[in-house]
Amino acid sequence: MNEIAHNLAQVNGKISAAAARCGRSPEEVTLLAVSKTKPASAIAEAVAAGQRAFGENYVQEGVDKIHHFAEQRVEGLEWHFIGPLQSNKSRLVAENFDWCHTVDRLKIASRLSEQRPSTLPPLNVLIQINISDENSKSGIALNELEQLAAEVAALPGLKLRGLMAIPAPELDYERQLAVCRKMAEACNALKDRYTTVDTLSLGMTDDMEAAIAAGSTMVRIGTAIFGARDYSAR
């Protein structure tokens, strides 16, 4: 087994154990392998080990990788855009990705919807919530969710799938859990209103257990799969 396959097996094992501890089935939690800054060869190793969903933060880098795997005729991969999105880059996301996790304003949502090619299914989108990080400018407050969700749900090129958050780093499990539960409550309320909602993208390496206990359906893990990132080439 190569290192990436080994790491993937370990991460999947942790997800299963966390799910089992709270009486959930491991199939309810999708592992999103965050491959930003990593070469296509590393992604290919993960694909060979059975991984299908990949998260990218930088639009052009992600699009290059999507094209690479399309040219190799590798099918069944799912590409998630999880970085901050500027409106001048929305077209590339709309035309190439399957999901966008970081919708936090109507302007971006409208552009993504208009720019989504009619030959593709609607772009799956998550609304990003700023749940606990006062220093972050990404994401909306929970009290703005009702309005943005209604606007996003009305856009024909988008499919509202749920919520995403990047909680502020916090090492105490109980405090992690409290934040994750707030997100899960908001997601459940949204699910009651919109039948398309089924996804809570929440949980990274250090808060995965709490996120899964609260009800996360998608955890985003990079370093534990692909190793430390080298940003010097960017």
Ligand X SMILES: *Cc1c(COP(=O)(O)O)cnc(C)c1O
* Residue ranges in contact with ligand X by CB under 6 A: 34, 36, 57, 82, 166, 204-205, 220-224
* 8 A C-beta contact, residue 141 and residue 177: no
Strand partners, 163: 127, 200
Q: Which is nearer to ligand X, 10 or 223 (CB)?
A: 223
Tokens of 47: 């694909």
CB of 124 to ligand X, least distance (A): 16
Question: What sign for the dihedral angle of Cα 84, 217, 162, 146?
Answer: negative
- Stated length of the chain: 234
DSSP state of 57: S
Q: Which is nearer to ligand X, 2 or 223 (CB)?
A: 223
Q: Which is nearer to ligand X, 52 or 150 (CB)?
A: 52
**Residue number of the CB atom closest to ligand X:** 222
Rounded to an integer, what distance in angstroms lies between the CA atom of residue 165 and that of residue 160? 15
Q: Which is nearer to ligand X, 195 or 232 (CB)?
A: 232
CB of 17 to ligand X, least distance (A): 18
CB of 72 to ligand X, least distance (A): 24
Rounded to an integer, what distance in angstroms lies between the CA atom of residue 42 and that of residue 119? 30
CB of 201 to ligand X, least distance (A): 8
